[in-house]
Structure 1
Amino acid sequence: MTVYWVNTFTAVHDEERMRRYAALAGPAMLAGGGRFLARGNPVDVLEGSALRTTVIAFPDAAAARAAYESAAYQEALRVLGDSATREIRVLAAVEE
């Protein structure tokens, strides 16, 4: 079952470390079988704050978790450190 990894940054404290994180995290997600559907700052905000968000499709929840736990993504997280605050959710796709 396809799942969607939704990563929302609620605060960024260090833009340079954020850029370094993104340079490592993107390839780690692709290597883990992810496919980017959307990423970046919102084009419009209807409610809430303007936050950076990433949406990545994975074939299943196990693949999303494996990508998160991979050595490559853990290195990206080490670079990010405490330079940002964020939330990550993995959601099941709607079956039609």
Structure 2
Amino acid sequence: MPKAYWINTFRVIDDPDRVAAYAELGGAVMRAHGGRFLARGLPAAAFEEGAIERTTLIEFDSVADAVAAYRSDAYQHALAVLGDAAVRDIRIIEAAG
């Protein structure tokens, strides 16, 4: 089964304190579901339509594990804490063969 990668970009951050609270809660959920943080922060470079936005890359053993983390009650609680403090784009992609 191929690994999966959760890619999260923060398009807009309106309340850094709530984002920090979300990150603490959400990070624990990711780790509990087998997620491994590979990269976190602002891009070192961005090209073409790329934007300099806070980005997180998390590796999971499978798409199912990543989706389960997102759908978990604990992660939904983290999202409730985040509320409207940020606009984000989350993608889960399967690793290439």
Which of 17-26 and 35-44 deviates more?
A: 35-44
2-structure distance, mates of 1:46, 1:65: 29
| Equivalence for 2:4 | 3
2-structure distance, mates of 1:92, 1:44: 24
Residue among 67, 70, 79 paired with 1:68: 70
The normalised TM-score by structure 2 is 0.91
Gaps of 5+ in 2: none
Percent identity, please.
52
Give, as a single letter, the amino acid of the residue that structure 2 aligns with 1:5: W
Give, as a single letter, the amino acid of the residue that structure 2 aligns with 1:62: A
Gaps of 5+ in 1: none
| Equivalence for 2:20 | 19
Give, as a single letter, the amino acid of the residue that structure 2 aligns with 1:44: A
The normalised TM-score by structure 1 is 0.92
